[in-house]
Structure 1
Amino acid sequence: MTPAELSRTVLHAVRRAVEAGELPGVSVPGRAVVAPPGPGGRGDYATTIALRLAGAAGQPPRRVAEVLRAYLVEADGVTDVVITGPGFLNLTLGSAAPAALVAEILRRGPRYGHAPTAPGAVDLDAPDAPAPDAPAPLVLTCAHEPRAVVVAQAAARILRSQGTPARTRCAAEPHPAWTAALGARVDAFGEGGSGETAARIRPVPAPGGVLRLGRDAGRWALLHPAPHDRPRAGEGHLVQRESNPLFRVRYAHARSRALLRNAADLGFAPDAAADTGTAAGAAPHAAPATAPAAVTADARPGTTGIPGTPAGPADAPAPRALLAALAAHPRVLAAAAEHRAPDRLARHLVVTADAALPFLPTVLPCGAEKPSAAHRARLALAVAAGTVLAGGLTLLGIDAPDHL
């Protein structure tokens, strides 16, 4: 069960309770947010739907949660529902849930998390011509300044990924140096029409020297900080070490691609459904993938693959953090679009990479060990992580190379 399917399951439970007269006065909401449980929570996902409905139902949140729990425990794919705190519903899914999530990511590829109505192209930099009956696009207006242009450009891409028509407009044409160094472009410049639906992009301006970083590092330097934070243009964005968040994100993606090549050499391919119980956990034995040349010598089992960064034993518990990050990706994209905040996506990519790096060394067989169903399932999870990282970087206008 994917997060979207679980959300629909929660709404179905609400609908059944309303129809049975157990929640009088309640209207079934349009969506139910499910997320990894916070401190004190249990299971795979939690929802605050009972707290949302308590006022309309005229009942305490915990009583509403008890009503919904009776329906949720009967749902296919849900193995347990625990109520915590004032009325949080904590749901545990069946063992096939990680496999379903990974299979969905592999099926959708870089478009995982995109709305079904989004344009077909993965590169969403150029908006399609609007259909005659389509709603007017949201116009993101920005100052004639490189960071504002880059943030507006990335925000428009993310909006389009969520099915919202969006265009960018700057007060004047971006300087050719911005385009050459950062790929900074807008759809139009000058004064807009009176009928436009506009939203202003107002980040703290870029510091001097950001153009020297080049396209990928420069865009990351401008997009990763929150809009109200002043970006830094230091050489730290270029170094290939763990202190550089962009390097960790791109390296985790490159490692996942290297694992796919290594597995092909060993004669096996990813299979999300091969052995879900073991795929969600780390391997009993681990072997490193072929890492990028700059760090190959220090990539060992039981490490993140980044020199000097221990990550615990190879038989560590299931990578719940990685599965949670992958499951949260659609929700992060939706929030980044709603708030026109590419920094939310950039920071989530760092979270995903940091969760993936300790897992990646556990994927391949060790020594004379033969590839098994568990190895195929773990490889599928690794490829899914790389797919999410590549898709996110693409939306930010940053390359995701297979080799670093």
Structure 2
Amino acid sequence: MDPAELTGTVLRTVRSAAVGELGAPVPARVVVERPRPGGCGDYATNAALQLAHAAGRDPLDVAALLRDRLAAQPGIAAVTVTGPGFLNITLRPAGDSVEDALAAGQLFGHGDFLRAQSFRLVPDDHPRALVLAASLRRLLLAAGASVGEQGDLVRVRAVPAADGPRPGPGPGPDGFPSDVLRWAFLRTPAYQRSRLAPALLLRREPNPLFRIQYAHSRTAALARAAAALRIGDTSTSTGTSADTPPAAPPAAPVRHTRSDGVLRAAIGELPAVVETAARRRAPDRLARHLDVLAGAFLGAEAAHPALPSGDEEPTAVHRARLRQAAAAGVALRNGLGLLGIQAPEYV
């Protein structure tokens, strides 16, 4: 179930409850979006609060009613009520995110949900707005839209960065590496001020970008090591980059651990995150997801290494995890590319 289908399902459920049990006015639309920090599930909606206000009912009672109805819908795994009546929705997994990422390669995360739409980006005249416009252009193109001199006008505005050292194109006492600067401009929502403090941006621990780039380089290192150990059919896979796994998937299903499941879910969420970032003109959503994805990959690799150790013979589980790591590499590389940031294979 994609975001558009989920929104339609929520709207139909709300309208049914409004006409039936609640006898309330039927809402024209509902908002379904990614959970905010601290939220849970894949998507969240305030539809219960909206309907409760119209019906003059307790929001938690309305939320419970909608929860039970939504949980019975195909494609929805669970619905949780949080706060004053928000509904957090977890979708059932569809397909295999690892194989989807490996099959799509450079196009994983791209789609056609903005097909036939055309936009003209006009940024404010300061560095952060220009960086934001460049990333939005890549996101819109990845969404199937066209971007040029004609189309719907989109004014790209962003709060200028906080006072600090003067940004420059390369490293130096008065500037930042270009990737670090782009990350600083894009990681923070456009309506908030970016901070350019060197202590936050140039040290590895406080800046998530370094962890994301390291995670990508680690996926490439695993592919190189797998090729050196001749794990899999190396006649058709060079194993020299992040997205070159052992050639064939395991012949039989492999049981995944919890950390594997977290990683596979994070990989599978990339297309929906790209769609949301494009529709909302919000590259910061993609940047934050890459941080989650990098953490999921590094956590899975630390818990259950993809390579055999010592004299251990490679098994189907090792091959599955190598493909999983390669898929993470695809997702990380493509996401960083949409932000205009390098995905290094060596760090």
Question: Could you tell me which residue of structure 2 aligns to residue 281 of structure 1?
Answer: 258
Residues 88 and 199 (structure 1), Cα distance of their counterparts in 2 relative to 1, 3 Å cut: closer
Higher helix share: 2
In structure 1, the residue matched to 2:136 is 155
Distance 1:84 1:235, change over 3 A: closer
Is 2:328 aligned against 1:381?
Answer: no
The corresponding residue for 1:251 is 214
The letter of the residue matching 1:137 is F
**What CA distance in whole angstroms lies between the structure 2 residues aligned with 1:325 and 1:354?**
10
| In the alignment, structure 1 residue 139 sits paired with structure 2 residue 139 | no
Given that 2:18 and 2:26 are in contact with CA atoms closer than 8 Å, whether structure 1 keeps it comes out as no
Give the TM-score normalised by the residue count of structure 2.
0.69
* Consecutive unaligned residues in structure 2, runs of 5 or more: 172-176, 233-245
Question: How far apart are the structure 2 equivalents of 1:113 and 1:31?
Answer: 23
Q: Distance in 2 between matches of 1:31 and 1:88?
A: 11
- SS of the aligned residue for 2:220 comes to helix
Matches of 1:3 and 1:280, distance apart in 2 = 25
**What is residue 64 of structure 1 aligned with on the other side?**
62
User: Secondary structure in 2 aligned to 1:212?
Assistant: coil
What is the percentage of aligned positions where both structures have the same residue?
38
- In the other structure, the counterpart of 1:310 is none
C-alpha change, 1:398 and 1:31, in structure 2 (3 Å) is same
What is the deviation of 1:140? Answer: 1.9
Structure-2 residue corresponding to 1:399: 342
The question of whether the paired residues in 2 share the 8 Å contact of 1:7 and 1:33 is answered with no
Q: Deviations over 1:222-250 (max 9, x none)?
A: 4445552243568964x7x5555332211
Is the 1:150–1:219 Cα contact (8 Å) retained in structure 2? yes
Secondary structure at the aligned position of 2:343 is classed as coil
Tell me, what secondary structure is at the counterpart of 2:121? strand
Cα distance change, pair 224–367 in 1 and its aligned pair in 2 (3 A): same
Residue 14, structure 1, aligned to residue 10, structure 2: no
Amino acid at match of 1:60: D
C-alpha displacement of 1:137: 2.3
Q: Contact (CA 8 Å) 1:10, 1:32: kept in 2 or not? A: no
Q: Structure 1 residues 100, 19: closer, same or farther in 2, change over 3 A? A: farther
Deviations, residues 204-223 of structure 1 (Å, cap 9, x unaligned): 26843522235434533544
User: Taking structure 1 as the reference length, what is the TM-score of the superposition?
Assistant: 0.61
Q: Does the 8 Å CA contact 2:136/2:283 hold for their aligned counterparts?
A: yes
Counterpart AA for 1:116: D
Q: Secondary structure at the match of 1:21?
A: helix
- Which ranges of structure 1 fall in alignment gaps of 5 or more residues? 120-133, 168-186, 188-192, 283-317
The residue that corresponds to 1:309 in the other structure is: none
Q: Secondary structure at the match of 1:138?
A: strand
Q: Distance in 1 between matches of 2:250 and 2:30?
A: 31
Q: Distance in 1 between matches of 2:104 and 2:4?
A: 15
Distance across 2 between alignment mates of 1:212 and 1:272: 45
**Larger mean Cα displacement after TM superposition, 67-76 or 244-253:** 67-76
User: Is the 1:117–1:163 Cα contact (8 Å) retained in structure 2?
Assistant: yes
Determine the C-alpha separation between the residues in 1 that align with 2:309 and 2:12: 46
**Structure 1's 325 and 37: CA in aligned 2 closer, same or farther, altered over 3 A?**
farther
Decide whether the 8 Å contact of 2:108 with 2:331 is kept in 1: yes
Could you say if the C-alpha distance between residues 207 and 18 of structure 1 is closer, same or farther in structure 2, counting changes exceeding 3 Å? same
